[in-house]
A and B are shown apart, each in its own frame.
Chain A
């Protein structure tokens, strides 16, 4: 009697410590040069690939032609966790999701997965333009691994979520792109697997639909299912995830509670001394072929505000170090602020000619007296130009920091940039 009474309790404790995903020493290597096995018959017949490969090995060694998108990643995700995956572009986030979902196979290490994995790396996978919305719901659902019976059961729910009842029997080539995305997410929101992998999918659709998606995500999470979510929006991760993983350059830097990991991530992001500033350059090369930082470059970049928080009493303070050579005659600095969604909000141009000759290193302080911005996290883009920065003038150096600073406000604390837009309007109403 006594034993059976304890059994449910024992089971719940067991369930809690059970992992959903376990990765041990996981690594994935990509080859940059075309593999001998893939290419064209022409190359094979002329031994072109073979020759270029041997040339490569003889001259520079194998390190030039391959790189590790992910290496030595070991972690465990418990059942029922909602895990945010943080990291800059190219940190290995998508690679990790592709490995767990078996789209690609690991080069070393192993992954153990308990339960079925549903992955949504893109919205509308498997849609066929000639088929109707109804047929595509089934096709896409089955392709994502939902059982046919399950789709039948949830069909009305899917249609209602997408909000395209009226167009259900129209071929989707006649749909607007927004409708296709809604339909795609509606199918995916009904994925019935125990483990869900979602990549950037929340970044689609209008604000209202995004909100709906986030709500659905919370619902799924409350079902006790395991979710891994990749999002560039730190705010979304902080809001919806209980745990987080932080990847950088293919290495797992931190794993654990979201707040701690997110802090580590933002700290690293803002630590941009001479050694690490290269990470802020999204591209190394300009469109015209010249290299960033060739004539003049940013040597370091710092946000001086404590916790990177900006408020009315604590305006945004920046510190920059620049260096260059004497070819730089008329340097300009262009600073742009971008919303969490990546929309360019505004810029400020400042000529540096009067106090920088180009061939010496200087240090600059920046102060934004007043930023009319809603609370939220914002990104910063810094460009260094020779001459007035126009669209046709290629920058000498370009930095992008996402996210860069967080606007906090006491009076508008209830509003956030996600729902209320980015501009803080200076407007008052009074009793007439």
Chain B
């Protein structure tokens, strides 16, 4: 017979008040409380993904490789797209690997929102768990692809080691861009059930608006300022600048950081507001 008094360890009282909904900042704390759930959802997604596809790792590299090869074969000699004197296959591959990660996040934001919406009515969890999980799972693919990419660069002697540590803030900016896009895609597909029709278009426009298979250097200042509003453009340019000696430096970086912060905060806020009514409407 267990001791009765040991059942309640702490006397913390949770108060749910209709007039005082939980504050916005509490989401972060709650996310930390639910870190085990985030971890297990990540494990679940990775396991189920690689269980059904033993060739998983090969696919990760295959897709950007084939696309980069096709683009190089068609465009490299024409000189249509600016490439900063970086060999075109390397320029497009580096862009495509990163883009593949971002596209994976947005795609699973829509799919994840749908698959998780059935859980919303059955068990309580902080809704921020969804975008955080889906932004982390495809990171595995990105890490695998980048590792292989670096191996190839080292082999061919194309890697420029002096600025290599600047890759870290660039990759972080890329992660934040994907996360904030994940949050927004999640929110929109939970709110509008026909958002997925529009999502394809949005993703495509975003891809062409990012320097995935071109370089930004020949753009006039005003245009560069505008494209810096897309944080992914600074992320990709900065990443290339950190590994290729001839790459041009990203400009107006602060605009990108402010933009990503604005996207992240606004998305989180909308998700926070939405989460109290989500269970009643799905």
Contact B191 A37 (CB under 8 A): yes
Cβ distance A256 to chain B, nearest Cβ, rounded Å: 23
With a cutoff of 8 Å between Cβ atoms, the chain A residues found around residue B194 in the complex are 40-42
Cβ-based interface call for A290 (8 A): no
Cβ-based interface call for B277 (8 A): yes
User: Could you tell me which residues of chain B, from 1 to 16, have a CB within 8 Å of some CB in chain A?
Assistant: 1-2, 4-5, 7-8, 11-16
With a cutoff of 8 Å between Cβ atoms, the chain B residues found around residue A294 in the complex are none
Contact A15 B123 (CB under 8 A): no
Contact B16 A131 (CB under 8 A): no
Once A98-B279, A113-B13 are accepted as A-B contacts, the answer to whether A131 and B18 lie under 8 Å apart by CB is no
Complex CA–CA separation, A168 to B137 (angstroms): 26
With a cutoff of 8 Å between Cβ atoms, the chain B residues found around residue A115 in the complex are 7-8
Cβ-based interface call for B77 (8 A): no
With a cutoff of 8 Å between Cβ atoms, the chain B residues found around residue A106 in the complex are 16-18
Complex CA–CA separation, A413 to B204 (angstroms): 73
Contact A121 B195 (CB under 8 A): no
Cβ-based interface call for A147 (8 A): yes
Complex CA–CA separation, A107 to B194 (angstroms): 28
Once A40-B193, A126-B119, A143-B40 are accepted as A-B contacts, the answer to whether A101 and B124 lie under 8 Å apart by CB is yes
Complex CA–CA separation, A131 to B43 (angstroms): 10
Once A15-B4, A194-B8 are accepted as A-B contacts, the answer to whether A113 and B16 lie under 8 Å apart by CB is yes
Contact A38 B36 (CB under 8 A): no
Cβ distance B228 to chain A, nearest Cβ, rounded Å: 29
Query: How many contacts between A and B, using CB within 8 angstroms?
Result: 136
Contact A142 B193 (CB under 8 A): no
User: Could you tell me which residues of chain B, from 112 to 137, have a CB within 8 Å of some CB in chain A?
Assistant: 119-125
1/0 contact trace for A91-108 toward B, CB 8 Å?
Answer: 000000011011111111
Once A41-B195, A112-B14 are accepted as A-B contacts, the answer to whether A128 and B277 lie under 8 Å apart by CB is no
Contact B13 A112 (CB under 8 A): yes
With a cutoff of 8 Å between Cβ atoms, the chain A residues found around residue B51 in the complex are 130-131, 171
Cβ-based interface call for A379 (8 A): no
Complex CA–CA separation, A379 to B8 (angstroms): 40
With a cutoff of 8 Å between Cβ atoms, the chain B residues found around residue A171 in the complex are 51
Once A41-B194, A128-B44 are accepted as A-B contacts, the answer to whether A224 and B16 lie under 8 Å apart by CB is no
Complex CA–CA separation, A117 to B192 (angstroms): 31
Choose one: A44, A111, A122, A147; the contact of B16 (CB below 8 Å).
A111
Cβ distance B131 to chain A, nearest Cβ, rounded Å: 17
Cβ distance A65 to chain B, nearest Cβ, rounded Å: 14
Contact A125 B21 (CB under 8 A): no
Cβ-based interface call for B54 (8 A): no
With a cutoff of 8 Å between Cβ atoms, the chain A residues found around residue B192 in the complex are 38-41, 44
How many residues on chain A are close to B (CB under 8 Å)?
Answer: 56
Cβ-based interface call for A35 (8 A): yes
With a cutoff of 8 Å between Cβ atoms, the chain B residues found around residue A105 in the complex are 16, 18, 21, 276-277
With a cutoff of 8 Å between Cβ atoms, the chain A residues found around residue B48 in the complex are 128, 130-131
With a cutoff of 8 Å between Cβ atoms, the chain A residues found around residue B281 in the complex are 35, 37-38
With a cutoff of 8 Å between Cβ atoms, the chain A residues found around residue B43 in the complex are 135, 139
Cβ-based interface call for B280 (8 A): yes
Cβ-based interface call for A353 (8 A): no
1/0 contact trace for B41-61 toward A, CB 8 Å?
Answer: 101100110011000000000
Residue among B21, B44, B47 with most chain A CB within 10 A: B44
Contact B16 A102 (CB under 8 A): yes
How many residues on chain B are close to A (CB under 8 Å)?
Answer: 45
Contact B279 A143 (CB under 8 A): no
Contact B123 A37 (CB under 8 A): no
Interface of B is mostly: mixed
Complex CA–CA separation, A101 to B14 (angstroms): 11
With a cutoff of 8 Å between Cβ atoms, the chain B residues found around residue A251 in the complex are none
Complex CA–CA separation, A327 to B83 (angstroms): 85
Contact A125 B119 (CB under 8 A): yes
Cβ-based interface call for A309 (8 A): no
Complex CA–CA separation, A103 to B52 (angstroms): 32
Contact A113 B14 (CB under 8 A): yes
Contact B44 A131 (CB under 8 A): yes
Cβ-based interface call for A225 (8 A): yes
Once A39-B193, A106-B16 are accepted as A-B contacts, the answer to whether A139 and B198 lie under 8 Å apart by CB is no
Choose one: A80, A104, A144; the contact of B279 (CB below 8 Å).
A104
Cβ-based interface call for A288 (8 A): no
Complex CA–CA separation, A125 to B116 (angstroms): 11
Cβ-based interface call for B37 (8 A): yes
Cβ distance B247 to chain A, nearest Cβ, rounded Å: 40
Cβ distance A125 to chain B, nearest Cβ, rounded Å: 5
Once A109-B18, A113-B14, A148-B36 are accepted as A-B contacts, the answer to whether A15 and B5 lie under 8 Å apart by CB is yes
With a cutoff of 8 Å between Cβ atoms, the chain A residues found around residue B282 in the complex are 38
Contact A143 B5 (CB under 8 A): no
Contact B124 A139 (CB under 8 A): no
Q: Which chain B residue lies CB-closest to A99?
A: B16
Complex CA–CA separation, A79 to B9 (angstroms): 13
Contact B123 A30 (CB under 8 A): no
Cβ distance A221 to chain B, nearest Cβ, rounded Å: 11
With a cutoff of 8 Å between Cβ atoms, the chain A residues found around residue B47 in the complex are 130-131, 135
1/0 contact trace for B260-282 toward A, CB 8 Å?
Answer: 00000000000000001101111
Choose one: B41, B44, B121, B193; the contact of A103 (CB below 8 Å).
B121
- Sampled A-B contacts (20; CB under 8 Å): A12-B4, A31-B280, A39-B193, A102-B16, A103-B123, A105-B276, A113-B13, A114-B12, A119-B124, A125-B119, A128-B44, A130-B48, A139-B40, A142-B36, A142-B37, A142-B40, A143-B119, A148-B36, A148-B40, A171-B51
| Interface contacts beyond A37-B281, A107-B18, A114-B8: sample of 16 additional A-B pairs, CB < 8 Å, sorted by A | A11-B5, A38-B277, A38-B281, A41-B198, A79-B8, A101-B123, A103-B122, A103-B279, A105-B18, A105-B21, A110-B18, A125-B119, A130-B48, A135-B43, A142-B36, A224-B2
Binding site for A on B (CB under 8 A): 1-2, 4-5, 7-8, 11-19, 21, 36-37, 40-41, 43-44, 47-48, 51-52, 119-125, 191-195, 198, 276-277, 279-282
Binding site for B on A (CB under 8 A): 11-12, 15, 27, 30-31, 35, 37-42, 44, 79-80, 98-99, 101-115, 117, 119, 121-122, 125-126, 128, 130-131, 135, 138-139, 142-144, 147-148, 171, 194, 222-225
The 8 closest A-B pairs by CB, nearest first: A224-B4, A130-B48, A110-B17, A38-B281, A40-B194, A106-B18, A104-B279, A102-B124
